[in-house]
Structure 1
Amino acid sequence: MAKDGGGKGGTSGKAAAKSTTKAKGGSSSPEETLKSRVEDYARLADSFAKDPVVMRPQNLSGQARRLHVRKTIIEDHAVRIDQKAEGADQKFEKLSKDLFSFFRGTSLLFHRDMVGEDERMPTVLVLGDVHPVNFGVMPNADNVPIFGVNDFDDVIYGPFSWDLKRGATGFMLASQETGGHGKKMRRKIVAKFVKGYHEGMTFFSKHGDGTIRHMRPDNSPKVIRKLFDKSEESRKGWLWDRYLNENGLGFRANYELTPISTRLDEFQGYINQLVEANGLDSKGRAGTLKVKDVCMRHGQGTASLGLPRYYCLLEGPSQDATDDLIIEFKRARASALEGLVPANDFDAGGQGDRIAHGQSVHLASGDVFYGAVEIDGESFMSRERAPFRNDIDLEDLSKKSWKKYARACGLALAQAHARSDDAGQLDYEIEPRILEAMDPLPLFIDDMICFAEEALERLEQDHVYYKRDLKQGAFDVTLKRYR
């Protein structure tokens, strides 16, 4: 099991736990910040694998469940709450607006209900946060737009079924909230997602990982080609419309961007680290890899709202502000699945390194700027922003295209998982084992549907608890233990 945070010496554990301070006279303080419960849940995961009659959070109800929801959300945001981080209040408000935002922003709450589950299932490098909007268009190593999984913040080695359960719940929820579909249609959409996954895994089982080719504008399903068409934008127009100041020498200043040009030399050092670690060439489209400007980026994301994020502007090869590159540095956090997945023999690494490992495994010849650096003593992941980086607008999907899109996402997830034994740490062929674990397929699909329906019912009640607590100031401060 990966130990990238929350355990002994882990980043999240340090951030969430402050040692007892000394009061006057040398006596202990009457209070201390409550510690992270990652290790407690790791023990619960192990206990459940050995003794499935252990009660887990999903079995709680009433006020006990309400307190669990409150404590988990506070723990997940402890650093942001204590530091009064910009964007933390914005995230809490966003979670209250609608159920899908709540689902997207509370991955830890969702996965704690699964603690220790599916111990017998084949292990892969799971994405950790699968839902309809975490697939999209992004650049590959050749700067060609591809479609696939696009959020690696929660990657960790665990049962393949965890991604399918999260994805099934996400599709069922989104098709209800955004698509307005009835129960029968929602079930069909989830079934298409799981069947697409099985279809992709069957193909790779027969033809091998070497046949993996990402979905591009020329080989993708029609519903994905429309997303490619929507994502087309010239780099020059993208830069000047959204980012560059009046002379093109740096970032503009607005409510989204705050230039911090005094840190140019510092961020040049981070870019140099990426160049060395990834073996980047200073020729071609990357230009000289010279940093032109740096800014702070505000208000982006859902789960990551309130975490520091920087944009770094690199001089393009033309040196005329038409083909500059933007590299993003985003604060890395511990995987929401840390300490929850059943114990296994694989370690994806710590924080930013874990996220970079996820990208390198899940995407063949993916973004060359994916990596990890340390900024202000904290781990950050890096990646390129691009004019065609985009995800689906669920409101644009017709009734038929919902099922087609779900199938395409199932295929993309199968591609990512199939690389766990090729680019990942698995030393055996994973595809046949996954297909065997999904047999009989109709029963497996029905299990995924039933899981999603129960998870959605629980989520709806959790959201009621959350909104009630938010109004009463439950998330203004972290919890303390008093003696």
Structure 2
Amino acid sequence: MTENLTDQIINVRKKLRKETIATIFDEFDGEITGLDSEKRIRKYNKMLNSAFQFYRGSAFLFYYDITNMPLAYHTPVDKPTWLQGDLHFENFGAFKNREGHVVYDTNDFDEGYFGSYLYDVLRMTVSVALYSEELGFDEDAQYKLIKTYLEKYYSQLKEFATNGEQPDTLNFDESNTKGPVLKVVKELPNRESNEILNAITTVNGNDRKFREMEGLVHLSAEERLELEENWNEYINSVEPQNKQPNAFYNIKDVVKKLGAGTGSIGLTRYYILIEGDMKGDQGDLVLEAKEARMPAATHFFPYDELFSDHPFHQGKRVITAQKAMQYLQDPFLGYFTIGNHHFYVRENSPYDEGVDPSDLSSMENMSETVEMMGRVTAKAHARADELILTHQSEEEIIDAIGDEYDGFMAQMIAASIFYKGQVKEDFELFTDWCQNKYNI
């Protein structure tokens, strides 16, 4: 009888949680983002690959849960941090900055917004646990990796707050990285500058066009005209110090990119071939324009009043977040609008690469990698307060932790391992829901 009652309680809890998951995905992907069934199936198919991929695509669920979790050590509500917003293991990478130097940093700002630093840090530590578990690391190793990340995050903040190191000019490059991160930083310069251009375009005489290939779809005449009619908004949004003559941005060809990303699947993404520096077809350049929607975080802690534009442009928000968190960022950053859809633009660069999972089989390599990720996160949070915010984020975070460092560490580790377990349970419920509702 006791066992039956216990089973009944477990089943009721699972039923209620499954209904919560269904409601949240219907609300966010259906009502808020406006994805139709085809786009939702495409997104969910990718999320069904693993618990980590499910986590990547469920930021709205994360914020719904975590904002109801009684966490200590928050910064004051009126002293928020610029958040990356969707911080996880695969949103770090090496790339070439504006001056051509290879650096390691965060590389996705679609969810960039404001809130307590704890949300970025906890989203990252949960991802460390999920990602390392998929690589075969046990829970003891996960505990140690989370602890390493948090230690490096905190110590780097202390360097900024008390030892005078400057976050606004700090880069992580060949001189101060190690392990798998150093490997990718050193190997990236050897990549051919035209690698992406040659992979997805072809030249017929003097005319370069996108290839006919899976995942790339040419626009209809009406769609292309609509984009071209709004392209000047992008040109005018490029920062003056990065601006090229208008002819540089002339559109030669454009396609839609299908199936990229996880959380962003279903949002429109264009590859745009532009004239470039006009050195024949060798000067051609591919830009990526990606639709930007309201970030998940804004539904749980709105700080819209911090933006000067009301209502603010979602594409402008994304590139502002990137400018806030990175030093010497992409010179092609900009934004434009088509109808009620907001887009941001960046270079589709061949010099953009994350750490290879095959290099993360040892505890030493994983530890060195999460160390770098902790330091990068601290740099992003400390640097970003230079835009819009009037306080020093690193000082506010250090003050929020105060003399309770051990308590902070214990809370974050426990919360991370607990929520990793919740994600794994949710993944099973999500799998059942997808099977029942979408037959996938």
Query: Which TM bucket (shorter chain)?
Result: 0.7 to 0.9
Out of 188, 191, 197, which is 1:239 matched to?
A: 197
Answering whether residue 434 of structure 2 is matched by residue 434 of structure 1, we say no
Q: Which residue of 2 aligns with 1:408?
A: 372
User: What amino acid does structure 2 have at the position aligned with 1:64?
Assistant: L
Find the aligned partners of 1:120 and 1:344 in 2 and give their Cα distance: 23
CA contact (8 A) 2:179 2:365 kept: no
Q: CA deviation at 1:254?
A: 1.1
**1:44-123 equivalences in 2 (<5 Å):** 61-78=13-30, 84=36, 87-115=39-67, 121-122=74-75, 123=80
Equivalent residue of 1:337, what SS?
Answer: helix
Tell me the C-alpha RMSD between the 2 structures: 2.7
- 1:39-97, Cα deviation, whole Å (9 max, x unpaired): xxxxxxxxxxxxxxxxxxxxx93211110001111222116996636543222112122
Equivalent residue of 2:437, what SS?
Answer: coil
Measured at CA, do residues 142 and 264 of structure 1 come closer, stay the same or move farther in structure 2, by a change above 3 Å? farther
**1:31-42 equivalences in 2 (<5 Å):** none
CA contact (8 A) 2:226 2:338 kept: no
CA contact (8 A) 1:171 1:190 kept: yes
Answering whether residue 157 of structure 2 is matched by residue 192 of structure 1, we say no
Answering whether residue 110 of structure 2 is matched by residue 153 of structure 1, we say yes
Answering whether residue 214 of structure 2 is matched by residue 255 of structure 1, we say yes
Q: Which residue of 2 aligns with 1:324?
A: 284
Measured at CA, do residues 306 and 208 of structure 1 come closer, stay the same or move farther in structure 2, by a change above 3 Å? same
Q: CA deviation at 1:125?
A: 0.7
Find the aligned partners of 2:34 and 2:295 in 1 and give their Cα distance: 20
Q: Which residue of 2 aligns with 1:479?
A: none
Find the aligned partners of 1:237 and 1:437 in 2 and give their Cα distance: 46
Find the aligned partners of 1:344 and 1:308 in 2 and give their Cα distance: 24
Unpaired runs of 5+ in structure 2? 1-11
Answering whether residue 391 of structure 2 is matched by residue 391 of structure 1, we say no
Measured at CA, do residues 442 and 78 of structure 1 come closer, stay the same or move farther in structure 2, by a change above 3 Å? same
Equivalent residue of 2:281, what SS?
Answer: coil
Out of 374, 378, 381, which is 1:417 matched to?
A: 381
Percent sequence identity over aligned pairs: 23
Find the aligned partners of 1:421 and 1:374 in 2 and give their Cα distance: 27
- 1:87-119, Cα deviation, whole Å (9 max, x unpaired): 432221121221111010111111100226658
CA contact (8 A) 1:235 1:323 kept: no
Q: CA deviation at 1:391?
A: 1.9
Find the aligned partners of 1:162 and 1:237 in 2 and give their Cα distance: 37
Find the aligned partners of 1:267 and 1:142 in 2 and give their Cα distance: 30
CA contact (8 A) 1:291 1:312 kept: yes
Out of 132, 135, 140, which is 1:175 matched to?
A: 132
Deviates most, 322-331 or 266-275: 266-275
Q: CA deviation at 1:306?
A: 1.5
Larger helix proportion of the pair: 2
Find the aligned partners of 1:83 and 1:443 in 2 and give their Cα distance: 42
Measured at CA, do residues 107 and 176 of structure 1 come closer, stay the same or move farther in structure 2, by a change above 3 Å? same
Out of 260, 272, 281, which is 1:312 matched to?
A: 272
Measured at CA, do residues 192 and 246 of structure 1 come closer, stay the same or move farther in structure 2, by a change above 3 Å? farther
Measured at CA, do residues 207 and 230 of structure 1 come closer, stay the same or move farther in structure 2, by a change above 3 Å? same
Find the aligned partners of 2:157 and 2:393 in 1 and give their Cα distance: 9
Equivalent residue of 1:301, what SS?
Answer: coil
- 1:126-177, Cα deviation, whole Å (9 max, x unpaired): 1111111011123422343321111111111100111110000000110001
Answering whether residue 158 of structure 2 is matched by residue 202 of structure 1, we say yes
User: What amino acid does structure 1 have at the position aligned with 2:413?
Assistant: I
Q: CA deviation at 1:411?
A: 0.7
Q: Which residue of 2 aligns with 1:124?
A: 81
CA contact (8 A) 2:35 2:266 kept: no
CA contact (8 A) 2:201 2:208 kept: no
Out of 98, 106, 114, which is 1:141 matched to?
A: 98
CA contact (8 A) 2:168 2:383 kept: no
Measured at CA, do residues 210 and 99 of structure 1 come closer, stay the same or move farther in structure 2, by a change above 3 Å? closer
Find the aligned partners of 2:235 and 2:302 in 1 and give their Cα distance: 36
CA contact (8 A) 1:257 1:296 kept: yes
User: What amino acid does structure 2 have at the position aligned with 1:335?
Assistant: P
Deviates most, 266-275 or 96-105: 266-275
Find the aligned partners of 1:266 and 1:350 in 2 and give their Cα distance: 18
Deviates most, 465-474 or 105-114: 465-474
TM-score by length of 2: 0.86
Find the aligned partners of 2:250 and 2:220 in 1 and give their Cα distance: 14
CA contact (8 A) 2:132 2:142 kept: yes
Measured at CA, do residues 260 and 271 of structure 1 come closer, stay the same or move farther in structure 2, by a change above 3 Å? same
Equivalent residue of 2:194, what SS?
Answer: helix
User: What amino acid does structure 1 have at the position aligned with 2:74?
Assistant: M
Measured at CA, do residues 320 and 79 of structure 1 come closer, stay the same or move farther in structure 2, by a change above 3 Å? farther
Q: CA deviation at 1:342?
A: 7.5
Q: Which residue of 1 aligns with 2:4?
A: none
TM-score by length of 1: 0.78
User: What amino acid does structure 1 have at the position aligned with 2:327?
Assistant: A
CA contact (8 A) 1:156 1:338 kept: yes
CA contact (8 A) 1:246 1:252 kept: no
Find the aligned partners of 2:340 and 2:439 in 1 and give their Cα distance: 26
User: What amino acid does structure 1 have at the position aligned with 2:66?
Assistant: M
CA contact (8 A) 1:330 1:381 kept: yes
Unpaired runs of 5+ in structure 1? 1-59, 477-483
Q: Which residue of 1 aligns with 2:119?
A: 162
Find the aligned partners of 2:115 and 2:254 in 1 and give their Cα distance: 37
Measured at CA, do residues 211 and 419 of structure 1 come closer, stay the same or move farther in structure 2, by a change above 3 Å? closer
User: What amino acid does structure 1 have at the position aligned with 2:371?
Assistant: R
Out of 412, 419, 423, which is 1:455 matched to?
A: 419
Answering whether residue 253 of structure 2 is matched by residue 290 of structure 1, we say no
